[in-house]
Amino acid sequence: MSAFDKVRKQNRIRYDLAESAVLQFLSQEDWTAIAGQSESEECKSARAELEALLRKIDVTERRIQKTHTAMDAEDIDAATIAVLAARVAKDTATLTTLTSRKEALQTNLETACHKSADLAKPEVLLDLIRENTPEANDVRLRLRAELRKRIWRIGLVFFPENGMVGMSVTYINNVRHLASFRRGDDRVILVEDIQGPGDVAQRVKEFLG
């Protein structure tokens, strides 16, 4: 059902028809391509945090190396050696902390990016879609769990003038694909390179015409 709007009539569609269209859409998707189009925001954030830390480690290691080189100079006095030694001790302690943090961030990155790996492995999901029936409660529960691993949002846009419904599926890595279907019609039309709902309607209208 569309959201309430005091200046527009609400539109609605039977749940079983919408469900059938969504599952048909998912059955036709190129899952490997979806997985390769983008990383999830969680994965990107974890990767950026790790890369920033690695840069700090590199800078600290270089500074320690330069300080050791300065300490090896033949004409250096005891007071300067003491200052440089204190600097090395401080940087070494910082490096130990950074290195410990690196292990945790590497684990976070692997965990965050592994979630998107499910997008490239649709076999379990597709098998459950084929087995899905209103009576198969266990299958439907497992199907819902598999969908939640891969999909962030499913949206519908109603075009009441021609009985069409636009559908958007946004995956967990923020890749968004669109399709359209008409009430009473068993065809679901995938539409690529969409600029907006009006573009979807026009393309599907031309296709059906």
Q: Mean pLDDT across the chain, nearest whole number? A: 84
Q: What is residue 198's predicted lDDT score, i.e. its pLDDT?
A: 58
What is the tens place of the pLDDT at every residue in 144-171?
Answer: 999 998 999 999 888 877 788 888 999 9
Mean per-residue pLDDT, 129-138: 87
157 DSSP β-pair partners: 166
pLDDT band at 54 (very low <50, low <70, confident <90, very high): very high
pLDDT in tens, 80-95: 888 888 999 999 999 9
* Residue type at position 139: V
